[in-house]
Amino acid sequence: MATKFNYDKIFSAKSSDTPINIVSHAKYDFAVAYPAPETLPMDGLIHSLTTAMDTNSEKVNKQMAYYPHVMGSEELRDFTSEKLKNDRGIVVDKDQIVLTNGSGEAIGLVIQALTNPGDIVLAEEFVYMGTLNQFRKFDAEVVGMKIDEEGIIPEALDQQISEMIALDRLPKYIYTIPEHQNPTGSSIPKHRREQILKIAHKYNLPILEDDCYVDLRYESVAEPAFRALDDSGIVIYVASFSKLLAPGLRLGYFTGSDDLIRRSLNFKLGSGPNQFAALAIDGYLRSNQESHKDNFNPLLRDKYQSMNESLLENFSDFGAKWSKPKGGCYIWLNMPEGCDISSIRDKVFSEGVGYIAGTNFEADGSGQIGHNYARLCFAFESPEKNRDGIKLLADIFKKYGVVN
């Protein structure tokens, strides 16, 4: 066998040895971040590809033969512009929409356009790990904003920013997931959004609005997007087709002011996202978006209700609290102060129940405030498995002395 080539002196200073995660699933998998495979409209997506070929094969062939436009498929941008107007009251032209390889890429491009090493960014005190990882990769300092069951607390935010300014620590921008937040499940009511926008203008802070979960809703209607409430350019809006359709499609998008778009695209490597996926999404959603949501969201409600009911049966005596989301994928479990459910996560996983421990979502990464919290995804397993898995989780917590 040849001697192994040694890269030690060749690797770049910025590169680091990154472990490649092996995805494993617990018997009751509440750790995932997506709906169940059986809810994906695979037949419909395939049908829309076939229809596109049957009706205009020349055009499809051409689209497939060329590298996609850096902003992505014109047809899907056109559909997205209509979707934003109809669903979110956001009026933007297709040329103000950039399609990306999932919304994760959109978030990364915007972060790079806005962030110098050491810049301070505000995010909900518990927030999506993927974005936290990107902030860290680009050397931002993330500071948590106080939240309650209705998300960011405007008064606390105003006070926090003025205290930071007094210490010469002016934050640069705000990142928020206002609808069915990941991990807490909360949605920020309109009156708070209006207050937060006023604060953003007062301190000149752009808002990076991540609306990833807006299409997943089984109760009442969505709150207006920050972007719909403010047309000045201070709001950068990011969303995704991952949760509505399928993460495997890798398609998301963002919209912002023209200069913000150009600066963000400066960090884009290569061409726009997968044209095949764009074609399938465009064809499918143009005629099936509402029926898909009508199939999908009642199922999501059953899943949510079964987990909530099982929590009521099995966790009420523990003094636990949990969020009551109207959509999205997650319930945020809050065990009493002093319960450590972070350090036993791996043991609980090996006994059959997966969850993500609260410490992983801490904006400031201090490891100080999250150990009695867990994110439970109710969207993946069946209602029966949600019920049984929560019962088992309660038994395991008792066994490990988390609760009596």
Binding footprint of ligand PLP on the chain (CB under 6 A): 33, 102-104, 128, 130, 177, 182, 210, 212, 240, 242, 247, 252
What is the smallest separation between the CB atom of 361 and ligand PLP, expressed in angstroms? 11
- In the bound state with ligand PLP, the residue whose beta carbon lies nearer, of 34 and 318, is 34
What is the smallest separation between the CB atom of 33 and ligand PLP, expressed in angstroms? 4
CA separation, residue 186 to residues 7, 182, 303 (Å): 47, 8, 17
- In the bound state with ligand PLP, the residue whose beta carbon lies nearer, of 240 and 310, is 240
Report the 10 Å Cβ neighbour count for 297. Answer: 16
What is the smallest separation between the CB atom of 177 and ligand PLP, expressed in angstroms? 5
- In the bound state with ligand PLP, the residue whose beta carbon lies nearer, of 128 and 322, is 128
Bridge partners of residue 254, in order along the sequence: 98, 238
CA separation, residue 291 to residues 41, 45, 50, 243 (Å): 11, 14, 20, 16
d(CA 280, CA 81): 17
d(CA 277, CA 247): 11
Q: Residue type for 299, please?
A: L
- In the bound state with ligand PLP, the residue whose beta carbon lies nearer, of 130 and 365, is 130
Residue 178 corresponds to which tokens in the numbers above?
């206002």
Residue nearest to ligand PLP (CB): 102
- In the bound state with ligand PLP, the residue whose beta carbon lies nearer, of 130 and 352, is 130
What is the smallest separation between the CB atom of 250 and ligand PLP, expressed in angstroms? 7
d(CA 98, CA 273): 10
- In the bound state with ligand PLP, the residue whose beta carbon lies nearer, of 208 and 320, is 208
Runs of H (alpha helix) within 167-252: 190-203, 226-229
What is the smallest separation between the CB atom of 277 and ligand PLP, expressed in angstroms? 12
Please tell me what DSSP assigns to residue 13. T
What is the smallest separation between the CB atom of 106 and ligand PLP, expressed in angstroms? 8
Cis peptide before 183 (omega within 30 of 0): yes
